[in-house]
Amino acid sequence: MLEALRSASDLPVEEEELARRCGLPPDAVRGSLQRLRSKRLVVLDEAHEALRRITPRGEATLREGLPERRFLNALEHRGGTLSPEEAAAAGLDPEERSAAIGILRRRGLLEDGVPFRRRSGSEGGPVLLPEEVVLKQVANGEEDLDGAIFAALARRGLVREERRSVKRWAPSEEGRRLPLPAEGTEPIGALHPALLLSGEWKGRPFRPYDVRAPVPFLTGARPNPYISWLEEFEELLVGLGFEQAEGPLLETEFWNSDVLFMPQDHPARSIHDALSVEGVEGHLPSADLVSRVAAVHEGRPLPGEPRALGAGWPGPYDLTIAARPVLRSQTTAVSARYLARHPSPPFRMFSLDRNFRRESLDASHHIEFHQCEGILGAPGISLRDLVGIFRELAKAIGIRELKIRPSYFPFTEPSIEGYVRHPRLGWIEVFPGGVFRPEVVRPLGIEVPVVAWGIGVMRLAMVALGTNDIRELFEDDLERLRGGA
Amino acid sequence: MPQSVLSEERLRATLGVPVTPEQLDDLLFVSKAEVNGREGDALTISVTPDRLDLLSETGLALYLAGMVDAAHGLPRFSELALPAGAEFRVDRSVVPLRPYLAGVVVRAPADRTLDAGTLSEAIRFQELLHATVGRDRRAASLGIYPWEKLTPPIRYSLEPLSDVRFVPLDGPEEVFALDFFATHPLAERYGAFGRTGDRCLVLRDAAGSVLSLPPVLNSRSTGEARIGDRALLLESTGTSERVVRETLGLLLVVFAGRGWSVAPMSVVGPGDARSDGRSVLSPPPVDLPSALVGEVGGEALPAPEVERRLGRARLSARPHPGGWRVGAPPWRPDLLAAVDVVEDVLLAVPIRPEDGTVSPSYTQGRRRPETVFRRRVATDLLGLGFTAPHTSLLVPAARVESLGDPAPIRIRNPVSLELAYLRHRLFLSHIEVLAHNTRHGYPQRFAEVGPVVVRAPASEPGAESRYHAGLLLASESAGFAEVAALVDYLLRRHDLLGVREPAELPGLIPGRTARVRVAGEVVAELGELVPNLLAEIGVPVPTAYAEVDLSALWPLLGGREAL
């Protein structure tokens, strides 16, 4: 390449011409020239040229005539007067017709008002309109033309200006002086299979690389940090002897709330808080289970038992509400389904999954959130075991300070919350839980005490991943995920 | 959580025992109330929904007095006797609309009258009860009236709108009920609960004075309690006898807790609306088996300790076979069963983390085998160089509707049109990922294993949650063959061989779209994205997509992945 430039008599040489002279593809020439330039062996003279081109629409117009010409022709054909109806029948669409009338009036070729008439004195007007002249000039590749008319045609999409960069190259002073190796002893650049197979590399030097030169910025696939964090959290629970469970994301209100002894008119179940769906019909589970749950809601004894478990809730239990599908609002519904399968005690279950509440979207609230539900059931299990689990989980996520305060959930009694002290955020509420009420476990056929907790793991993840915006956990920026941003 | 602004000065005065702000915060931390803010005398408190009584200065002071051992046991209040005829007469006409009513008369101690603080506390607490347990007045609403201006008995009935005239509490002059319901903002909001056709609910005394139009507004003449009043009528109307009783019991704390004496009003009327009014003052006691405290709390407490703690919680306890019979004040409707009382026993002293026990685990922890399988697929995709976004199950309405896909389930009450459908394919989310990343260069390769929801009319919720793996390639060379090869690879990893067949799917080019079956089951769909979709989201390169139904694959693996 350098040799071709040094021997050229018409410096600087256009890049495309240089490729032709060297018999190399343009991409290869471009790469080599950039390498030579980085070594200051060639200099670049770059210019930008404007090329005026006719568009396909312009070519069609050239063939069929500009709308204003076609309007004038129709006028001439009708003896110099044209009614709006005749103009409409002249083959121009309404947009073209309106544009043509405007242009002809501005050019003084058409009277104002209807019917349309040639302006008196303009009958012997220009043989060619200026727009027609410029359009033909552009089609013929002529350079010297009226710029204002060209711009007007460009706005009509009939012509366009293309800008192109022209690169011309010449050897630098250093490039002229540099001694070039004799034919056949050039250093080897990139190795390629043909070179290796032919043995042509033997006895030839290798072109040294600038090992300090910048290289492309590469990134690889990485696990999603939030999903990885959730998996690590699951690992903790598996280590503590918990078995994983899952449940439907679209759930009936029966499992989402009724089984959990939440009153059917509880505000959290209203249309303002729970997300319901259209066009889906839910069904109830076995009549036996439904009747047991209905009994505790209405404060009646369970079938076959002498006394009610408690006072229940005001009002009759409504099966229509129970069968309604809603987006699951708590993973406690998964616990209820698990318990309904009558696991043999002792059992430890966890479910870390998505839930949905009708929250406004902001930095700390999202409609969709992960919750980690856990239950622990065995003879002799008590609130102390729940506190013990909180302590172990806090320890496992690296937090030593924990304090407990009372809380309330319709399905647990007693209900408590564990607060942990975060070095930056202070005391934060992390572990809500309690002992399942008899009204929850007894209708499901569970006879041992069951403690339950539901951790808002997104909050913990935000702390662990160093973000203040919950929306960042729904990350879909590929650059950031690849670690490139 | 329910929240209200209390007067700290009034709280301290009612408590009568000096506590520093720090002590107050600490005491509240171990209660079901919490300080959310302080500004001058204004103390913003939130409580758990079961302890609304703590949102009144009096209720909170009664509780705190127990916790600092300044008072013990059930707060006592003296009972009045009302003259004969001091009763409510409920007309049968109210039954279809709002049948239940309860009332009590409260009288100030001899040396006191209604003061500004108590009136303000009562009105604020009344509104809070409307909004919470009263379900915005639908289930129950409360009224406070100057008893000495009333002429009992009080009649509760539906009256023709044209017969009712009164001066609204907030109005200057007498109006007809017809005009009131047509124009008053409170009538617009609550009118439907107190009016049916051309008749409305009215509380009227024997002298013909209108006390109120429940549950909308009191009258000014006989429905306005004023500073200096010596006796008040508190009443509650509603659609549930229990909620009516509970709201009235809660409001009572403001007066009974300050030493006012109380007289129940009997209710004469049809059906179960009839009562002697005593149930408001004496909620049914709860029997607490002595063993239950140890079972729930994990530690058997000596009987004196249980009784001491019940006293701190301001409850009464008297021995009963096998345990205690526990009495609660009218403002504790949360005590539904023995476990609720156990909670009061356990929480009467702070629970410390060191009280927790870690029992040995007799269970073996494990992930669901199907989850393990999904995770392996996700790892395979990562190994193939796919970036892993995490997307929402909810997708934008505009995308679903522009694709004309009828399968996704629509949310009835979406918060935003951006999250208005449940995706049935990850494809719907991945189009959004592609659209959000047009500012980055190509090639782009990303994949996600995530849930979708598909219609399943025979299932209990009417839909089924499934897991899919979606993978997308956007590059100058992306095409059908590459995604098909990737699907083949994923199947081969699990010793499965898929058969492709032509398919048509929204968003994919007909003729370049396929379904993959294994043993007759559809397990994957794939194809090239239609150019108009790419143009719509500004993607300048060909894009190919595949989605594997992992929930369909799992049964075909016959549990092998579990091993």
pLDDT for residue B561: 47
Compute CA distances B194 → B139, B188, B190, B267, whole Å.
11, 11, 7, 19
More confident residue, A144 or B130: B130
Number of residues written out for chain A:
485
More confident residue, A180 or B37: B37
User: Which site among B367, B436, B466, B475 would you substitute to test the A interface, given the most A Cβ atoms closer than 10 Å to its Cβ?
Assistant: B367
CB contact under 8 A, B242 and A248: no
**Token pair in block for residue B500:** 């492709």
Sheet with A243-244, strands from edge to edge, namely: A243-244, A347-356, A368-377, A450-455, A426-436, A412-422, A402-406
My answer on whether omega of the bond before A115 falls inside 30° of 0, hence cis, is: yes
Which residue, A402, A410, A411, is CA-closest to A431?
A402
Chain centre distance of CA A185: 54
Q: Does B31 touch chain A (CB under 8 A)?
A: yes
Tell me how far apart the alpha carbons of residues A2 and A17 are, in angstroms, rounded to a whole number. Answer: 14
Between CA B485 and CA A378, with CA B368 as vertex, the angle to 5 degrees is 175
Site of tokens 């609720």: B340
Close Cβ partners of A381 (under 8 Å, ≥ 6 residues apart): A346, A448, A449, A450, A451, B359
Measure the CA dihedral A337/A339/A340/A343, to 10°.
130
Close Cβ partners of A169 (under 8 Å, ≥ 6 residues apart): A5, A12, A13, A15, A18, A33, A42, A43, A44, A45
Q: Is A255 left (phi over 0), alpha (psi -120 to 50) or beta?
A: alpha
CB contact under 8 A, B366 and A391: no
Tell me how far apart the alpha carbons of residues A119 and A101 are, in angstroms, rounded to a whole number. Answer: 12
Tell me how far apart the alpha carbons of residues B395 and B267 are, in angstroms, rounded to a whole number. Answer: 55
User: Which site among A280, A289, A407, A442 would you substitute to test the B interface, given the most B Cβ atoms closer than 10 Å to its Cβ?
Assistant: A280
> What are the two backbone dihedrals, phi and then psi, of residue A4, each rounded to the nearest 5 degrees?
-60, -40
Partner-chain residue, chosen from B365, B446, B461, that has the shortest CB–CB distance to A250: B461
Partner-chain residue, chosen from B31, B364, B390, that has the shortest CB–CB distance to A475: B390
B167 CA: distance to closest CA in chain A (Å): 34
Partner-chain residue, chosen from A226, A237, A325, that has the shortest CB–CB distance to B390: A226
Domains of chain B: 3-67 (3.30.56.10), 87-281 (3.50.40.10), 286-352 (3.30.56.10), 369-562 (3.30.930.10)
| B161-203 pLDDT per residue, tens | 999 999 999 988 999 999 999 999 999 999 999 999 999 999 9
**Bridge partners (DSSP) listed for residue B159:** B200
Which segment of A268-277, A429-438, B337-346, B419-428 scores lowest on mean pLDDT? A268-277
Q: How many CB pairs below 8 A link A and B?
A: 284
Cα nearest neighbour of A343 on chain B: B363
pLDDT > 70 in chain B, percent: 99
Residues 416-445 of chain A whose Cβ lies under 8 A from any Cβ of chain B: 416, 418, 435, 437-439
Partner-chain residue, chosen from A247, A380, A404, that has the shortest CB–CB distance to B351: A404
A215 CA: distance to closest CA in chain B (Å): 17
Close Cβ partners of A426 (under 8 Å, ≥ 6 residues apart): none
- Among positive and negative, which fits the CA dihedral A236, B382, A484, A210? positive
- Side-chain-side CA neighbours of A477 within 13 Å: the count stands at 9
Contacts of A476 in chain B (CB under 8 A): 389-391, 432-433, 436-437
Q: Does A384 touch chain B (CB under 8 A)?
A: yes
Considering the entire predicted model, what is its pTM?
0.77
Between CA B130 and CA B139, with CA B134 as vertex, the angle to 5 degrees is 135
**Token pair in block for residue B258:** 């300050």
Q: Does B300 touch chain A (CB under 8 A)?
A: no
**Token pair in block for residue A60:** 């069609």
- Side-chain-side CA neighbours of B298 within 13 Å: the count stands at 20
Give chain B's mean pLDDT: 94
pLDDT > 90 in chain B, percent: 88
Tell me how far apart the alpha carbons of residues A331 and A276 are, in angstroms, rounded to a whole number. Answer: 17
More confident residue, A76 or B468: B468
Tell me how far apart the alpha carbons of residues B274 and B463 are, in angstroms, rounded to a whole number. Answer: 47
Partner-chain residue, chosen from B350, B367, B464, that has the shortest CB–CB distance to A234: B367
B2 CA: distance to closest CA in chain A (Å): 11
Residues 300-319 of chain A whose Cβ lies under 8 A from any Cβ of chain B: 309-312, 314-315
Domains of chain A: 54-162 (1.10.10), 228-481 (3.30.930.10)
| B234-243 pLDDT per residue, tens | 999 999 899 9
The answer to whether the beta carbons of residues A328 and A249 sit under 8 Å apart is yes
Q: In B336-491, where do the E strands start and end? A: 394-395, 409-410, 421-422, 444-455, 463-474
Tens-of-pLDDT digits for all 485 residues of chain A? 888 899 999 999 999 899 998 888 888 888 889 889 988 999 999 888 888 889 988 998 888 888 888 888 888 888 888 888 887 777 777 878 888 888 888 888 888 888 888 877 766 656 788 888 999 999 998 888 898 999 989 988 899 988 888 899 999 999 998 887 777 777 888 888 998 999 888 888 888 887 888 877 777 888 999 999 999 999 999 998 999 999 999 999 999 999 999 999 887 777 778 899 999 999 999 999 999 999 999 999 999 999 999 889 988 999 999 999 999 999 999 999 999 998 889 999 999 999 999 988 788 788 999 999 999 999 999 999 999 999 988 888 888 889 999 999 989 999 999 998 877 778 888 899 999 999 999 999 999 999 999 998 888 888 888 888 888 888 888 988 887 65
Q: What is the helix (H) or strand (E) element at residue A87, kind and residue range?
A: helix A84-88
The answer to whether the beta carbons of residues A410 and A267 sit under 8 Å apart is no
Tell me how far apart the alpha carbons of residues A273 and A360 are, in angstroms, rounded to a whole number. Answer: 10
Q: Does B76 touch chain A (CB under 8 A)?
A: no
Write down the ipTM of this complex. Answer: 0.88
Reply yes or no on whether the pLDDT at B361 is more than 90.
no
CB contact under 8 A, A481 and B391: no
The whole-number average pLDDT for the span B390-402 is: 95
Question: What's A303-362 look like in SS3?
Answer: CCCCCECCCCCCCCCCHHHHHCEEECCCCHHHHHHHHHCCCCCCEEEEEEEEEECCCCCE
Partner-chain residue, chosen from A244, A310, A327, that has the shortest CB–CB distance to B366: A244
* Residue A267 DSSP one-character state: G
pLDDT for residue A126: 63
Cα nearest neighbour of A244 on chain B: B367
- Among positive and negative, which fits the CA dihedral B31, B32, B34, B40? negative
Reply yes or no on whether the pLDDT at B560 is more than 60.
no
CB contact under 8 A, A243 and B352: no
Tell me how far apart the alpha carbons of residues B32 and B29 are, in angstroms, rounded to a whole number. Answer: 7
The DSSP line for B238-304 is ES-HHHHHHHHHHHHHHHHTTT-EEEEPEEE-SGGG-B-SHHHHSPPPEEEEHHHHHHHHSSPPPHH
Contacts of B48 in chain A (CB under 8 A): 406-408, 415
Close Cβ partners of A130 (under 8 Å, ≥ 6 residues apart): A146, A149
